[in-house]
Amino acid sequence: PCTLGVLGGGQLGRMFVQAAQKLGYACAVLEPEDHSPAAQACPQHIQADYADLLGLEQLAQRCDAITTEFENVPAEALRWLAQRRAVAPSAAAVALAQDRIAEKAHFSACAQQAGVGPAPYAVIETEAQLQAAPTALLPGILKTARLGYDGKGQQRVHTGAELRAAWQRLGGVPCVLERLLPLKAELSVLVARGRDGQVVHYPPQRNLHRNGILALTEACPGSLPAGLAARAVSASALIAAQLGYVGVLCVEFFVIDDGSAEGALVLNEMAPRPHNSGHYTLDACDVSQFELQVRTLAGLPLVAPRQHSPALMLNLLGELWFDAQGQARSPDWAAVLALPGAHLHLYGKLEARPGRKMGHLTLTGSSAQQVRATALAAAAILGLAPWP
């Protein structure tokens, strides 16, 4: 019936396009790179820079509603498009998520009502703020306020001298210094909020990061303490509501040891889009996070998604395409696909690089135990490190 547009051509855009096509929508992708994962899935590729007005004009002309798959798309581009077409999430929400300083200020403002706040932190934009950084934040992590992802733009610091050196290495750009917390676990919550304010959500999933990059997501219902899960969900819904957010929003949490059995929740950050930790919803839920994004954008009804199978997702990073000697190789997909409940997703990226997200593998089964066993078998085939 109408055309949905997406800014950005990565794997999130690809999976959005595929979900939109399933519901009969035509799509258009604006992306500067040729052969991007989303452009491959979409006959209408506008090859232009995200800030190119001619490209944006074309996108607006072809589309009825437009979203973004790329967190760092210029918020200005979304603002410009929103004067012409329906755009979700809004430029303001995306701008907030693009800037850790603004994001943490929003989290702090919501903290009392949400019952959970950010890690102790200080803003470091000036030499004076660097001097005045509280030693109570050490050891800590210095994070650039903008453009960081997959742990890039972060430095761990233990002393004032290390902090100073790290800020210089990061180019003296605006940063936040966050206290390094003893993590018991990490989890994330995906909520979808419609234009009418209706919110639906998935149960929180548990995430394991390696070198700052998501390595694994475990979505086995019942595996997280119920009280903790419920608090994470209600805090996420509140954060979305306070922003007047429309679309799929992912909120990342830390679980830290506070002496209680469950542990305490701390807000880490949010992503204004479907999220890597929600990829399992494609194979383990009746409605995926990408379909919910389509529904919010197209103004279709939202329904509470139902997870029909426990799942575990393994990220497939570029290093799998190289052997120990650094020679190119192809992972043994046939062996992986021989495992019952293995769902392989490759994004069609032409070049593998270490740390680059090339695809993911979701394992589903009839029980959490079975899913874990299959995932360990897949990890052994692929040469992925096992996990606790």
Residues 260-289 that bind Mg ion (CB under 5 A): 269
Residue 209 binds ligand ATP (CB under 6 A): yes
Tokens 């790179």 belong to 33
Tokens 């403002």 belong to 109
Q: Quick one: 144 or 307, whose CB is closer to ligand ATP?
A: 144
Draw the binding track, 62-101, toward ligand ATP (x: CB under 6 A; -: no contact).
----------------------------------------
CA distance 23 to 249: 21
Minimum gap (Å) between residue 22 Cβ and ligand ATP: 27
DSSP state of 378: H
Residue 184: contacted member of ligand ATP, Mg ion, none (CB under 5 to 8 Å, by partner type): none
CA distance 175 to 153: 9
Using the contact rule CB under 6 A, the part of the chain among 105-113, 128-136, 140-148, 312-320 near ligand ATP is 140-148
Minimum gap (Å) between residue 252 Cβ and ligand ATP: 6
DSSP string, 35-95: T-HHHHT-SEEE-S-TT-HHHHHHHHHH-SEEEES-TTS-HHHHHHHHTTSEESS-HHHHH
Q: What is the token pair recorded at 126?
A: 């000036």
Is 207 within any annotated ligand binding site?
Answer: no
CA distances from 181 to 62, 163, 267, 374 (A): 47, 17, 12, 32
Draw the binding track, 274-293, toward ligand ATP (x: CB under 6 A; -: no contact).
--------------------
Please classify residue 97 by burial: count the beta carbons closer than 10 Å to its beta carbon, then call 0-12 exposed, 13-18 middle and 19+ buried: buried
- The helix (H) or strand (E) run that includes residue 258 is none
Draw the binding track, 145-184, toward ligand ATP (x: CB under 6 A; -: no contact).
---xxxxx-------------------------xxxx-x-
Q: Quick one: 151 or 263, whose CB is closer to Mg ion?
A: 151
Of positions 36, 90, 268, 289, contacts ligand ATP by CB under 6 A: 268
Residue 218 binds ligand ATP (CB under 6 A): no
Longest dimension (CA), the chain: 60
Is 143 within any annotated ligand binding site?
Answer: yes
CA distance 328 to 13: 27
Residue list for the binding site: 100, 143, 148-154, 178-181, 186, 209, 268-269
Residues that bind Mg ion (CB under 5 A): 252, 269
Residues contributing to the site for ligand ATP (CB under 6 A): 119, 141, 143, 148-152, 178-181, 183, 186, 209, 212, 252, 268-269
